[in-house]
Amino acid sequence: MDNDQITTRSQIKNDLDPQEMLRVIFDYAAKIANERVLENVLMLMADMGREMIVSDRCTVWLLDKSKNELWSKVAHGLDEIRIPSTAGLVGYAVTHDKAVFIDDAYTNEQYKTYLLNGALRTDQQTGYRTKALMVIPFRDSQGEIMGAYQAINKLTECQQFSDKDMEYLTLASSYAGKSLESALLTNEIEATQKEIIFRMGEIGESRSKETGNHVKRVAEYSYILARGLGMSMEESELLKIASPMHDIGKVAIPDSVLNKPGKLTDEEFKLMQNHTVIGYNLLKNSNRHILKTAAVVAYEHHEKWNGRGYPRGIKGEDIHIYGRITAIADVFDALGSERVYKKAWDLDRILQLFTEERGEHFDPQVVDVFFEQLPAILHAREQYADSALEDSADVQ
Ligand SMILES: [Fe+2]
Ligand SMILES: [Fe+2]
């Protein structure tokens, strides 16, 4: 392959004149400032960079320090790409805090090893011809390197990136930096919230020696049931995040009761039942959607359709739909899992029970959806099986 192929494939363009440059900057700066979704910010930044310096391709890479990885999003709908933070030319630029220019990747000697691992290998797989390459690290407001711009193939006649191009990309990253940082922060906060909720749920369960993936599976089943009942994706997702907290109130139940091998006395059973009320009281005063949902789930997951559940003995549709869904999800998983005090039930026996308890313990409509969605539910059960856990030795 040679230079001609680049010039014939993409027509030769000119660098932007100052007016065009301003238009691009204004256009994108406004769009980016209004964007809260991280992946959209990344893609807008990439488009902005590509237009400013007239390159064929442009990618924005972010440094994930917790994992020592660089990641990027190249297109909507596609998964993110992740590479070790020292890999390829981007890794080199980020770890050495150095901008890299290459006029022709195929003849460059200085960065040959990085190129062989990166651009050249990709070319082999895709048939693309990388010629000019530029990588510019950029910093956050604390001055720490947070990622890099990578541009491939200059579409002007000279086919090479210049110092001016570097300045433009640096400019682009400084325009986008604030939005990028705030989108990153939002992302981090949301991920942290989900994780905390999940961990709290695990605490409740581990106190009662539930198996490792129980809360994960209950979350998945709840989501499938909610969707099957016609709930929106958002609401189903909400329930999925909140349902792992159903037993959070168990943190306050004494071990002697929680893990008693034999039958509980009436008094102990009363105490045990109280985990629903305790969980509810822990969560109910929050204004947060997720925690409010979790409060309902904690309070009502032991209520029964026929009114014979606890703590309040409410019945039918007086029980919140979140409670009715989680009840099925929780019981299905508990019966199917082995415990210190019992073997796992086989599937037929569980399904038999659900048929019998349709309209008794469980909301008949949710039971119907459960049977409709059984393939998806069994798939989730397999996906989050306890045997898939590495530390299965901890599992009872
Ligand atoms: Fe419970
Ligand atoms: Fe549970």
Whether the predicted model's global pTM rises above the 0.75 cut = no
Q: According to DSSP H, which parts of the chain are helical? A: 3-9, 18-33, 38-53, 88-96, 112-117, 119-126, 163-207, 214-228, 233-242, 255-258, 266-273, 275-283, 289-300, 321-336, 347-357, 364-372, 374-383
User: Treating both helix axes as pointing N-terminal to C-terminal, what angle do 364-372 and 321-336 enclose, rounded to 10 degrees?
Assistant: 50
List of residues 6+ apart from 34 with CB closer than 8 A = none
Q: Where are the domains of the chain?
A: 3-185, 207-395
What's the 368 CA to ligand 1 centre distance in angstroms? 23
Least distant ligand from the CA of 297 = 1
Between β-strands 81-84 and 145-154, what pairing exists: parallel, antiparallel or unpaired? unpaired
What's the 287 CA to ligand 2 centre distance in angstroms? 24
DSSP result, 51-73: HHHTEEEEEEEEEETTTTEEEE-
Say how many C-beta atoms besides its own lie within 10 A of residue 97's C-beta.
9
Cα 134 to Cα 42, 48, 111, 223, 314, distances in angstroms: 18, 15, 12, 45, 66
pLDDT in tens, 110-121: 988 888 888 888
What's the 189 CA to ligand 2 centre distance in angstroms? 26
Least distant ligand from the CA of 279 = 1
What's the 249 CA to ligand 1 centre distance in angstroms? 8
What's the 370 CA to ligand 1 centre distance in angstroms? 20
Name the maximum alpha-carbon separation found in the chain.
Answer: 87
Least distant ligand from the CA of 210 = 2
Tell me whether residue 276 is exposed, middle or buried, using C-beta atoms within 10 angstroms of its C-beta: 0 to 12, 13 to 18, 19 or more: buried
Least confident of 54-58, 73-77, 264-268: 73-77
Write out the two tokens for 334. Answer: 């508990």
Least distant ligand from the CA of 250 = 1
pLDDT score at 207: 64
- The yes-or-no verdict on residue 220 having pLDDT over 70 is yes
List of residues 6+ apart from 292 with CB closer than 8 A = 283, 284, 286
Residue 210 binned pLDDT confidence (cut-offs 50, 70, 90): low
pLDDT in tens, 29-38: 888 888 888 8
What's the 376 CA to ligand 2 centre distance in angstroms? 20
Classified by CATH at the fold level, domain 207-395 comes out as Hypothetical protein af1432 (1.10.3210)
The catalytic residues are 250
pLDDT score at 396: 29
What's the 231 CA to ligand 2 centre distance in angstroms? 22
Least distant ligand from the CA of 209 = 2
Q: Which CATH superfamily is domain 3-185 in?
A: GAF domain (3.30.450.40)
pLDDT in tens, 352-366: 999 999 999 999 999
What's the 332 CA to ligand 2 centre distance in angstroms? 10
Residue 212 binned pLDDT confidence (cut-offs 50, 70, 90): low
Spatial separation of the C-alpha atoms in residues 268 and 278, rounded to whole Å: 15
Instruction: Check for a shared fold between 3-185 and 207-395.
Output: no
Q: What is the mean pLDDT of residues 69-96?
A: 86
- The yes-or-no verdict on residue 40 having pLDDT over 60 is yes
pLDDT score at 29: 84
Write out the two tokens for 39. Answer: 């992946």
Q: What residues are neighbours of ligand 1 (ion), with CB under 5 Å? A: 247
